[in-house]
Structure 1
Amino acid sequence: MNGFDSAIQEFLTRHAFTSEVVNHAIRTIADFSLFKGLFLVAILWWVWFRGGRRGAWEKEMVIATFVSGLLSLAAGRLLAHFLPFRPRPIYDPEVPFRFPLSGTTETILRTWSSFPSDHAMLWMSVSTGIFLVWRRIGIIAGIYTALVVCLVRVYLGLHYPTDILGGAVIGILITLAMTRDAVRPLYATPILRVMMRFPAPCYTLAFLFCFELVTQFDEIRMIGQSVHKVLDARQGGDPSLTVVGPSEAAARHN
């Protein structure tokens, strides 16, 4: 652990709340989708329907922000898979700090690399898109993401500060690239045109997409992993077909 991570985590653990109720509430905030992307997605829907002189441009920016968020989430998964494995602070025996509620953390997180934080990548990407369209609300969205989504994970020992910073920078850069005037019309304009022509099916799909984005596609991944385990078990002749349970899916929110 580098000096930067050590200094911040030492400060947080030294000033950690002693109340189990408060720490449990913080863990709940970290686990529940309600306290993560739902607030930010609702802002994007507000921007979409509020109208105005730049309505078409704003709608394109909303589309670009959602696309950027999806790319950020995918990039986060790929980087965590292909980069050298980094254990989470709460499971790293070399980290000399005791984190709140360490005993209740799901063990499935042991197998998930800490760097980069896909939460930071996704929701800082979305917050950046909001800022580009609606500056004052975007600042609030950025602060909310930094405190409620990112800092909470450092406090609980789910990520190092550099995991959060690295993920945030990548997510912001993806949004800045995908919302540029030279790039955005290449995909956002055709999508907007189709949505305006076929509103009923498109808004239905948009609602489903937003739901999955807020939950970070955990249920879809859970189904995919369940099918994969069943197929592996059948090929290996294993009569016990293990299915991923809800507790594992909830653990992967982190």
Structure 2
Amino acid sequence: MTDFDTIIQTFLTEHAFHSELLNHAVRVIAGLYTFKGLVLIPILWWIWFKPSDRSEWKREMVIATIVSGLLALAIGRMLAHYLPYRVRPVHNPDLHLHFPPAGLREPAFRTWGSFPSDHAMLWVSIAAGIFMTWRRVGIFALLYAAIFICAPRVYLGLHYPTDILAGAALGVAITYLMTRDALRVRFAAPALRCMERFPALSYTAAFLLSFELITQFDELLMLVQSISKAI
């Protein structure tokens, strides 16, 4: 735990956890998919269908943003799994900090380290893609990701502030790289042509992929874990 982490989380535990109503609100926001992808993913659909003079470019950017989010989620979980294990603040008795009970059901919660935050990597990556496509709405998306997705996880002791900052930085870097013209046109343009040729299949797949991103593939992960235990 860095001095930066110590200052912020000591302040939170000593001054912020005195309102049961606030604690309950933060738990609800952190625990429901409604307050995560169900806000940001529909913005990408809005950009996709909104009439525009640059509709082809914007649709390529949406595809690149989705790919960036998938990469960010996968890389984030790989790093959290393979990097040296970092105990989450709420599970670290050496900190002597008392966080409000999170009450969250998270797959592999005890086996993944807290660094970096896969939530921050995924949703800041998506928000960054929105920002690069539509600045005014993108500012809202970035603020939303910071306030309603990232901050509650620090508040509840699920992540250190540096977990969030590192995840956010990696998410932005992945999206920035994947949306550059030289790289984006190599995969987004062919994908867009395929969607125009097979719209029924493509939009069905896009809906299913959007659902899985919103849920961060958690239920699929739990299903795989259940099957592996049964076998």
Task: Measure how far apart 1:105 and its partner are.
Answer: 5.6
Task: Write the distance in 1 (CA, Å) between the matches of 2:24 and 2:69.
Answer: 29
Partner of 2:145: 145
Deviations 1:44-82 (CA, angstroms, capped at 9, x unpaired) = 000000021100000000000000000000001110111
- Pair 16,84 (structure 1): closer, same or farther in 2 beyond 3 Å: same
Task: Write the distance in 1 (CA, Å) between the matches of 2:197 and 2:88.
Answer: 47
Alignment check: 8 A CA contact 1:91 1:110 kept:
no
Deviations 1:128-169 (CA, angstroms, capped at 9, x unpaired) = 000001101101110110010001100000000000001000
Task: Write the distance in 1 (CA, Å) between the matches of 2:194 and 2:40.
Answer: 24
Partner of 1:22: 22
Q: How does 1:209-228 map to 2 (within 5 A)?
A: 209-228=209-228
RMSD: 1.3
The SS at the match of 1:94 is: helix
Q: TM-score, normalised by structure 2?
A: 0.96
Partner of 1:251: none
Task: Write the distance in 1 (CA, Å) between the matches of 2:211 and 2:202.
Answer: 14
AA in 1 matched with 2:113: S
AA in 2 matched with 1:35: F
Stretches of structure 1 that go unaligned for 5 or more consecutive residues are: 232-254
Partner of 2:129: 129
Task: Write the distance in 2 (CA, Å) between the matches of 1:229 and 1:23.
Answer: 35
Aligned pairs, number: 230
Partner of 1:90: 90
Task: Measure how far apart 1:188 and its partner are.
Answer: 0.3
Stretches of structure 2 that go unaligned for 5 or more consecutive residues are: none
AA in 2 matched with 1:168: A
Alignment check: 8 A CA contact 1:16 1:100 kept:
no
Partner of 2:181: 181
Q: TM-score, normalised by structure 1?
A: 0.87
Partner of 2:64: 64
Deviations 1:199-244 (CA, angstroms, capped at 9, x unpaired) = 111101100000000000011111111111111xxxxxxxxxxxxx
Partner of 1:245: none
Task: Measure how far apart 1:38 and its partner are.
Answer: 1.1
The SS at the match of 1:150 is: helix
Partner of 1:194: 194
The SS at the match of 1:111 is: coil
Deviations 1:68-105 (CA, angstroms, capped at 9, x unpaired) = 00000000111011100001000011112111126x46
Task: Write the distance in 2 (CA, Å) between the matches of 1:49 and 1:92.
Answer: 47
Partner of 2:164: 164
Task: Write the distance in 1 (CA, Å) between the matches of 2:6 and 2:111.
Answer: 22
AA in 1 matched with 2:101: L
Alignment check: 8 A CA contact 2:81 2:111 kept:
no
Partner of 2:112: 112
AA in 2 matched with 1:28: V
Partner of 1:203: 203
AA in 2 matched with 1:21: L
Task: Measure how far apart 1:19 and its partner are.
Answer: 2.4
Identity %: 58
Task: Write the distance in 2 (CA, Å) between the matches of 1:20 and 1:183.
Answer: 48
AA in 2 matched with 1:73: L
